[in-house]
Amino acid sequence: MSSKNSKANRRNFLKLCGLTSLPLMVPSLGLGSSILNEGQKFNPDVLDDDNQLINFVTDGLMFSPQERIQKLMEIDKLHPIKTDFYGNGGAISELEQAFAKLTGKEKAIFVPTGTMANQLAIKLLNKDNTKVIVPENSHIFRDEADAAQAVHNKRLIPVGKNKPHFNLQDLKDTIAYYNSGEVFKSGLGTIVIEHPVRRADGASVPLETIKSISNYCRENGYKLHLDGARIHIAAAYTKVSISEYASYFDTVYISLYKYLNASGGAILAGDAEIIDKMNHQIKIYGGTTYQNWDEAAMALHYLKGIEDRWQKATLVAKQIISSLNKLKEVTISDIDNHTNIYNLVLDESIDARKLAQTLSREYNILLRNPNSKGIVKFSINESILRKDTNYIINAWKKSIKHSRK
């Protein structure tokens, strides 16, 4: 595909997505209102041949269908893609082996969605028990439409309200509360940790907290599940390996479309005893899809070298943030235990809306709208490696100038 086609496709993409698909992204970002604004239309004329979007908005590269098809073609040239058959064989088997290795678990299995991976993990881990303790602000408690209760007959007990995550004492207090106050007990079988925490701007759970909870669970016979949808970004920032994180848990779910840029899909890794039961479970809940090599090939591609790329990305991000913080109009600050999300606040002299529009129209750089408190959630991802760092910094400087109220 020539670069001309690429530009044409980009134009199409922009036309198609600019106004219609972006507002649709809101749910995935867990916000109640539009995160991008109407004015963020692209100016196709600024696109050079290698034009690629830089976004400070989400987890990954935000491929258009055209870019995705192109990328699959490139991947196939490097390493011919083999088909799977209802999730068996081919690229899916490669993917499962790669994730078993990455997590250090006996087995890993492809699951079509993270919701299904989380739900089936707690179903299988919990056995005959009803109670599962989960973080109050976790995906499994607040973003899976009550699947645990409505479909899987589980009672989720939330812990850690108004905190990024719960700690061992919170957990013990909760268990004591239920053990002491209920006469006819149903069992507690499983504890869930989400790490990093999407609803806390990607904050990571400190390793010591994870270890203490893990030890407690093992001593008391509770199973521990990791919702590690975004574990790659935690590993990149904390320098703790995914296999070490995984070692503290019985099962680990990792998303394929956050930092691995697949079009969907999830991995669940754990002991063979659990993972071997998954195929049947996926089937009965209607998740046995025909061909999934597309997700597998993309995820495998981006899995290779991810540590190196993120080491580079975190350095580049530091540079960008440091430079922007030198501008009097911009303040970017850390959140506690942050990974790749920062709080960006603009000086009162700047029109945030105009800034976002300028960045997108002139430089193909996407920025979120400020939230109700005036904070722009500023997300780092691999797209900042697509251009020279100075290009990005200059784009900001110039756009700031053009965005005075």
Site for its own copies in 90-149 (CB under 8 A): 90-91, 111-113, 115-117, 119-120, 128, 130-131, 142-147, 149
The rounded distance, in Å, linking the Cα atoms of 322 and 393 is: 10
- Calpha distance 25→16 (Å, rounded): 14
Query: Nearest approach, Cβ of 370 to its own copies (angstroms)?
Result: 18
Show the 3-state SS of 189-202: EEEEEECCEHHHCC
Considering only 38, 48, 76, 208, the residue that binds its own copies (CB under 8 A) is: 76
42 CB-near residues (< 8 Å, 6+ apart): 10, 14, 18, 360, 361, 364
Return the bridge partners of 156, or none: 132
| 180-199 positions binding its own copies, by CB under 8 A | 180-186
Nearer to its own copies, 136 or 329 (CB): 136
| Residue in 135, 189, 202, 265 binding its own copies, rule: CB under 8 A | 265
Terminus-to-terminus CA distance in the chain, angstroms?
42
Residue type, 308: D
**Which residue type is seen at 371?**
N
Distance in Å, CB of 324 to its own copies, minimum: 30
Residue 82 lies near its own copies (rule: CB under 8 A): yes
Looking at the Cβ atoms of 267 and 400, the one nearer to its own copies is 267
The nearest distance, CB 133 to its own copies, in angstroms, is: 13
**Binding residue for its own copies, selected from 155, 163, 211, 354, defined by CB under 8 A:** 155
Return the number of the residue (87 or 370) whose C-beta is nearest its own copies: 87
51, 52, 58, 83: which one binds its own copies (CB under 8 A): 83
Q: How far is the CB of 48 from its own copies (least distance, A)?
A: 21
Going by the DSSP 8-state scheme, the letter that residue 85 receives in this structure is B
Specify whether the CB–CB gap between 396 and 364 falls below 8 A.
no
Close Cβ partners of 257 (under 8 Å, ≥ 6 residues apart): 60, 263, 264, 265, 295
Structure tokens at 362: 């002139």
Closer Cβ to its own copies, 1 or 46, answer by number: 1
CA distance 232 to 303: 9
Q: Which of residues 99, 245, 253, 293 is near its own copies by CB under 8 A?
A: 293
Say if CB 95 and CB 268 are below 8 A apart: no
- Give the residue with the Cβ less far from its own copies, 217 or 296: 296
Q: What is the DSSP string of 176-188?
A: HHHHHH-SS---E
Minimum CB separation from its own copies for residue 155, in Å?
Answer: 4
Phi, psi angles (nearest 5°) of residue 314: -70, -35
| Binding positions for its own copies, 8-47, rule CB under 8 A | 9, 12-13, 16-17, 20-21, 24-25, 27-28, 30, 32
* Residue 221 within binding range of its own copies, rule CB under 8 A: no
Please name the residues in contact with 377: beta carbons below 8 A apart, sequence gap of 6 or more: 201, 341, 342, 343, 344, 368, 371
Q: Nearest distance from residue 304's CB to its own copies, in Å?
A: 18
Binding to its own copies in span 331-360, by CB under 8 A:
none
C-alpha 113/C-alpha 287 separation (Å) is 8
Nearer to its own copies, 263 or 369 (CB): 263
With tokens 């020539």, the residue in question is 2
Q: Which stretch binds its own copies (CB under 8 A): 46-54, 66-74, 312-320, 321-329?
A: 66-74
The residue type of 144 is: E
**Number of residues in contact with its own copies, rule: CB under 8 A?**
83
Q: Does 227 bind its own copies (CB under 8 A)?
A: no
Query: How far apart are alpha carbons 63 and 40 in whole angstroms?
Result: 17
What CA–CA distance (Å, rounded) separates 201 from 189?
29
- For residue 89, the minimal CB distance to its own copies (Å) is 5
Under the criterion CB under 8 A, does residue 371 sit at the interface with its own copies? Answer: no
Residues numbered 294 to 323 that lie near its own copies (CB under 8 A) are 294, 297
Tokens standing for residue 43 = 């100016």
What's the min distance (Å) between Cβ of 393 and its own copies? 30
Q: Which residue from 1, 19, 176, 272 is in contact with its own copies, where contact means CB under 8 A?
A: 1
